[in-house]
Structure 1
């Protein structure tokens, strides 16, 4: 075994923390793919603003996955490239997508809360500090997903679908 291989085996990341981080990478990859699927559906329904909004969400989720990937690899541990399973491709309507997006963000927040709690119990304060960025980010992600749903509900859906499309698209411009 060469020196590089030996150095790569030494890490302060505990196996249980590493496992949770790799699992979260898979969640982020799935989330990215799901948002891309939502984007494609929106474009197919001529909702270009929502299509662009969800495409940008997909990009952000991939960035989140890659941030975890880099954290793991820089710590000298093995990041596991996630597989993405079967995705929803057909959606009932825009509101069902918006509800699904909010549910997805709430679940991701819960995951990061569990990772943080586990890191604190494991006395891995470095990773807990790293995960804090995600908790701050998730606050914004949930707020934005909730706002999309509020816009939809306040504008009485069917009669104002193109206004809803424009408003949701403009949410990303304001960031």
Structure 2
């Protein structure tokens, strides 16, 4: 008996998003390494936590596909972009990556609606809300850096920004529940 409750197109689209989340994890890990190398330990820690959160999102997609009788496929992940040239470029990259991810999430919502796959449509609403939070978080990074002086910020301003991100809570609303064990 076939117990698969996803169309082939939806199964592939969800697998593609799982892989996109893995790529996001690698991008933020790469940015975190860059920040750490530049001496921005707080910013690095923030980016490392964000990398883990993105990985957790990929697990959430993986388990959903499996729970619906499908089989997600892990694809080759492109290399992250080259190191940013500045904190502005780093934070802009984080924001752009989140905007691109939001577009992908919306495409999945559209496909679920088109297919009348209400279970997937409902599943995707968590991600719609999450992307609002992710884009806001990324925009706040850009805003905080601008307040600090942007790429011409003083060492003292950058130290304060770095410290603020170091002291930021380890959890993010909604996403704190998404782990490998509890997607």
Work out whether the TM-score is over 0.5.
yes
Pair 1:169 & 2:166 matched: yes
Question: What's the C-alpha RMSD, in Å, of the aligned pairs?
Answer: 1.4
Equivalence for 1:82 = 75
Structure with greater proportional helix content: 1
1:53-132 → structure 2 map (5 Å cutoff): 53-132=46-125
- List structure 1 runs of 4+ shifted beyond 6 angstroms: none
Per the normalisation by structure 1, the TM-score is 0.91
The 1-side partners of 2:96 and 2:26 are apart by 15
Out of 64-73 and 88-97, give the one that drifted further: 88-97
The 2-side partners of 1:76 and 1:13 are apart by 7
The 2-side partners of 1:71 and 1:55 are apart by 25
The 1-side partners of 2:136 and 2:46 are apart by 15
User: Is the Cα contact below 8 Å between 2:12 and 2:72 reproduced in 1?
Assistant: no
Deviation readout 1:140-172 (Å, 9 max, x if unpaired): 111100001000001113302111212233444
Out of 59-68 and 153-162, give the one that drifted further: 153-162
Deviation readout 1:12-71 (Å, 9 max, x if unpaired): 101111111011011100000000000000000010000000000000000000000000
Structure 2 gap segments, 5+ residues each: 173-183
Structure 1 gap segments, 5+ residues each: 1-6
Q: What is the CA-CA distance between 1:10 and the residue it aligns to?
A: 2.8
The 2-side partners of 1:11 and 1:173 are apart by 37
Pair 1:39 & 2:57 matched: no
For this pair of structures, how many residues does the alignment match?
168
Deviation readout 1:77-99 (Å, 9 max, x if unpaired): 11112322122242201110100
User: Is the Cα contact below 8 Å between 1:151 and 1:168 reproduced in 2?
Assistant: no
Per the normalisation by structure 2, the TM-score is 0.87
User: Is the Cα contact below 8 Å between 2:32 and 2:48 reproduced in 1?
Assistant: yes
SS in 1 for 2:69: coil
The 2-side partners of 1:124 and 1:174 are apart by 31
Q: What is the CA-CA distance between 1:110 and the residue it aligns to?
A: 1.0
